[in-house]
Amino acid sequence: MNPVVQLRDIHKTYDLGEVTFEALGGVSLDIAEGEMVALMGPSGSGKTTLMQIIGLLDRPSQGQYILRGQDVTELSENERAEVRNRAIGFVFQAFHLLSRMSVLENVEVPMTYAGFSASQQRETALEMLRRVGLADKSRSLPSQLSGGQKQRVAVARALTMQPSILLADEPTGNLDSKTSVEVMALFQQLNDEGTTVIVVTHEPDIAAYTQRIVRIRDGLLESDSPNPQRKRIAGGVA
C-alpha cells in the first residue's frame, strides 16, 4: 500500500474574534494510491474543511500532512500552489465554469497558468473532453449543457494537469439521480485508470460506488470502513 495522503492529528481552528471554533479536532487518516473513498458526515461536520486541507487550499492549525511522501505542512503559499497544480484536481458541487467561455476554453484554463503552448492546450483539452464523452460539445457554452454535462466538463478541466488525486466536494449535489450515476461512472473509470478519488457526499447511494467510506462528525473521525458491496457501473461513459 502506497499512501498518497497521510494526515496526522489534523486540527483546524477558525478564529471568530472573541471566540474560536474548532472545525477539526484531530483527524488522522491515510489514503492509498488508487483508492476511491467517500467522505460522509452531517452538515457542518468538517468535510469541506478537511477537503480544503487535503487539497492544499487551506492549512491545518495543528498536525502534520504528508502528500505523496512529501511533508507539505510547512510549505509557503507559493510552494503549496505549485504542489496543488501538479498533484490535485478539484470538482465542486456548483461546477464553477466560466459562462462566457466555450467548453473547450474552460477546460484549457488550468493549463494557461502552467505555461502550455496554445496548441498543447487545445490538444490536451480535446483529449480530456473525449475522455469524458463530450468532444462534440467543445464549442458550446456552459449554459447550453445539461447539469451532468457541465460536471463532466469540470472533471475534464480537473484532469488536464494529470492529477494523482481527484477531490470532489458534493459533485452530484446539483444533479438528478440518473446524471449522478453518470458522474460516478466517470469517477470509477478514472479510478480504474489509477487516479485516487476522494468524494464528499451526503447520499448513501453515491457513497455506494466507492470502495471505502469515511465518516466524520463534529470534526472527528467517526468510522472508516471498506465497502465490500461496492456498486460498479458497467461501461463507464459513452
Question: How big is the site for ligand ATP, counted in residues (CB under 6 A)?
Answer: 12
User: For the chain, what's the residue count?
Assistant: 238
Q: List the single partner that 103 binds among ligand ATP, Mg ion, none, CB under 5 to 8 Å by kind.
A: none
Per-residue binding letters, 46-85, with ligand ATP (x by CB under 6 A): xxxx------------------------------------
Q: What element of type H or E holds 209?
A: none
CB nearer to Mg ion: pick between 47 and 137: 47
| 42/40 Cα distance (integer angstroms) | 7
Residue 118: which residues within 8 A CB-CB, separation 6 or more?
Answer: none
Residue 38: all three cell numbers together: 467517500
- Report the b/e string of 123-154 with b at 16+ CB within 10 A: ebbbebbebbbbbebbeebbeebebbbbbbbb
Out of 28, 44, 79, 130, the residue judged to bind ligand ATP by CB under 6 A: 44
Q: List the single partner that 196 binds among ligand ATP, Mg ion, none, CB under 5 to 8 Å by kind.
A: none
Q: Which stretch binds ligand ATP (CB under 6 A): 36-44, 79-87, 99-107, 203-211?
A: 36-44
Binding site for ligand ATP (CB under 6 A): 14, 16, 21, 23, 41, 43-49
